[in-house]
Chains A and B, each alone.
Chain A
């Protein structure tokens, strides 16, 4: 047999063309680093491209806020960076409280996140009714983050990959990784007999499917897949700027400029390891909550439902940082259904880790070692034994 494998040498190989991998590729190219990205499908066609589209810092754990703030600055410059605004708007994100306890929790979050200058405003009583006459009666108030907002993920995520390509990254779509080896110096990432990419640095941005690559290098993590239930209405007359969430979770909703309302909440079902859909009972529950939140939706129609496959770690924090076992391996996955906003910041951090070996943004909370409790002495003795 005379199969010719195309061999590509690069400074950095990236596995996964979602918003994390694609924005890392772009950030690396802007630093002049040679990048090859392998995506098994089309870039931004999985969770990065079909998520709700919330661009939200409010409500994130404080450990994520430095990263979220960094990403916030990247979002501000989106058209210059990726050639489209991706329908990004700083339209405000309003987190609704439905009880005094919810309001106390929102107040506590505002106090806890004060150092990050999110500009949170607590709104209740007559001000609430004046500012949002469309809101259902169960809402007693909420917390507004005026500079949070929304964007269209099916435009933004592929655009990061396209921008990386224009900047000189080699983006190999429909190219699934079938094996990876490390000889101590170089990684060799293969896609069948078609392509072999050799690079001293490998970035694992394989999303919900990243666990296998981590496990191969002795870093198995308890990642599992989640599937949000999502639905969209036909275009309705525009009435709502804010993207809405609810304290404690349950439903989230935004109205796009075209007029459609995008809603999510509850869980869909997995069809297999790669595909998921919303099923009837989740959509029915979502409908009840939607009408309670926004009574005007009573006479609207759902025109489409969908779901996707997202990676979750048990603590709902991502894995982001250098491998603990393998020099040159860097992880960035498991964003627990909340990766879209921080994606462009994660890309910059991954690029720093790849080029400089360290991040200028604190990421210690996301270290993969949190799942592999070992002491420094253990590591030292293991190293000595080799």
Chain B
């Protein structure tokens, strides 16, 4: 088990590299969900990169890394609503 948030095994990652040709971390993530759970890859990212490097025969620095996406850790939605009030942001989106 590599990704404990999303229950993704090493075998699933290797199969994705083999069958779908994933050779880069963000493609591996998109196709398998590795790193898409609560930890956002903080726990599993490095292990997944090593498995992908081994499966593709590439050096680990050439399989990329998971794209950094805010927030750094899960944030409660109600804190965000308070942030809005504190910063006096208009309550209606423009789109």
Interface residues of A (CB under 8 A from B): 42, 45, 49, 154-155, 158, 162, 228-229, 233-235, 249-251, 258, 265-267, 277-278, 280-291, 297-306
Contact = CB atoms under 8 A, between A and B. Distances in A.
Contacts of A266: 93-95
Counting chain B residues whose Cβ lies within 8 A of the other chain, the interface size class is: 20 to 34
B27 interface: yes
Contacts of A278: 70
B75 A302 contact: yes
Contacts, number: 111
A29 B27 CA distance: 25
SS class, residues of chain B in contact with chain A:
loop
Contact of B91 (A280, A288, A297, A298): A288
B39 to A, nearest CB: 9
Contacts of A283: 70, 80
B58 to A, nearest CB: 14
B21 to A, nearest CB: 8
B20 interface: yes
A287 B26 contact: no
27 contacts: A154-B30, A158-B27, A158-B31, A162-B20, A234-B74, A249-B95, A251-B93, A265-B93, A267-B94, A277-B70, A281-B89, A285-B84, A285-B91, A286-B80, A287-B81, A288-B80, A288-B81, A290-B77, A291-B77, A298-B78, A299-B76, A301-B38, A303-B71, A304-B40, A304-B69, A305-B69, A306-B69
Contacts of A291: 77-78, 81
B92 interface: yes
B24 interface: yes
Contact of B38 (A234, A277, A287, A288): A234
A298 B76 CA distance: 8
B63 to A, nearest CB: 13
A183 B74 CA distance: 56
A285 B71 contact: no
Interface string B1-39: 000001000000000000010001011001101001110
Contact of B95 (A228, A300, A302, A305): A228
A304 B74 CA distance: 8
Contact of A267 (B27, B37, B95): B95
A301 B76 contact: yes
B92 to A, nearest CB: 7
Nearest to A249: B95
A300 B27 CA distance: 27
Interface string B51-95: 000000000000000000111001111101101100101111111
